[in-house]
Amino acid sequence: MGGDHGPHVTVPAALEFQARLPDVEVVLVGLRDAIEARLSGTNPRVRIHPASEVVAMDEPPAQALRYKKDSSMRVAVNLVKSGEAHACVSAGNTGALMAISRFVLKTLPAIDRPAIATVLPNSRRTNTYVLDLGANVDCGAEHLLQFGIMGAMLVAAVEHKERPSVGLLNIGVEDIKGNETVKQAGELLRSSGLNFYGNVEGDDIYKGTTDVVVCDGFVGNSVLKASEGVAKMLLSFLRNEFKRNPWRMAIAWLATPVFNALRERMDPGKYNGASLLGLRGIVIKSHGSADAFAFGQALGRAVDEVRNEVPQRIAQRMLQLQGPALPRSSVQ
């Protein structure tokens, strides 16, 4: 039900996804009437699971958590909790999704806080995974360590990399740089057994210096939004310059394949689907403005994480770090 377009985008995306991956069963959770209105004819393989409420995009997360017990978001996360669904994908209110997921699913053993991770493109044509992107705005060194582990396990699982490299976002590459929290996090990461690269800077995200970049959620959120802003500004400058006169418009027409390639490469929809990591279950947040293609990418990410057992990998890695003190049975 969530996102800027609700079922207008999520339902067609789900149908298309279902057709493409017939071994995946999609469950549409939300207001039955709204969903059915978007289902053109019957599709027996897409099931509707009704929910009577909808969390608004601007609703305070605490309110959504406390009062909307039958929201589509809450019901979908409940399905993950009960094991009826392997993952939940939502384009709705990020804060509410995080609050509900954390409350319903709980965090994995030894994980203090879940984090939001996303994939960004880089010059090496690989993927850079960045976390946290805004779930945590006052991170301690321990949290940053946990983000490093969660990010590395995500990459190990979905990119099939044995030992993904982890960078710590800082304002300089030297160990002495940064605030106290980051310095301590660097020490923890160095002795974590992860493939810790050391400090990286903002531009290293797009250079592809490391597979994972770890940062406080305030920093990660600001960096992500600023990056989107720069890309938009640059592309709009380019568009305006090419529209300046008919001659330039003709050149732009000739250059169509170049711009298509650029669009294909930089398309934020391609990278849609942020992972809520550290939970006892898989929850994927789609961008609110996602179109059907982008929402399909988020669905694909969910399936990827299910098949590659991301939460289980994180739990196992945390156990190794913590030693055998934690009971294995607590790992879902």
Number of residues lying near a copy of itself (CB under 8 A): 58
Q: Which residues within the stretch 235-274 sit at the binding site for a copy of itself (CB under 8 A)?
A: 235-238, 241-242, 248, 251-252, 254-255, 257-258, 261-262, 265-266
The nearer residue to a copy of itself, 138 or 162, going by C-beta atoms, is 138
Binding residue for a copy of itself (CB under 8 A) from 25, 126, 229, 322? 229
Pairing of strands 87-90, 127-131: unpaired
Give the pair of three-digit tokens for residue 222.
């600001």
For a copy of itself, the closer of residues 19 and 262 by Cβ is: 262
Give every strand in the sheet of 195-200, ordered side by side.
87-90, 282-285, 274-277, 115-121, 127-131, 212-214, 165-169, 195-200
CB of 22 to a copy of itself, least distance (A): 35
For residue 66, what are the contacts with CB-CB under 8 A and spacing of at least 6?
none
Give me the 42-81 binding string for a copy of itself, x by CB under 8 A, dash otherwise: ----------------x-x---------------------
Tokens representing 316 are: 């196992």
The packing angle between helices 72-82 and 94-105, to 10°, is 30
> CA-to-CA distance for 304 and 297, rounded, in angstroms?
10
Give me the least distance between CB of 137 and a copy of itself, in Å please: 4
Choices 75-83, 151-159, 169-177, 312-320; region in contact with a copy of itself by CB under 8 A: 169-177
**Rounded alpha-carbon distances, angstroms, from residue 141 to 17, 60, 221, 327:** 40, 28, 18, 25
Q: Strand locations in 217-314, DSSP E?
A: 274-277, 282-285
**Please, what is the minimum distance in Å from the beta carbon of residue 153 to a copy of itself?**
24
> Which residues contact a copy of itself by CB under 8 A?
58, 60, 121-123, 134, 137-138, 169, 171, 174, 176, 178-180, 182, 201-207, 215, 217-219, 221-238, 241-242, 248, 251-252, 254-255, 257-258, 261-262, 265-266
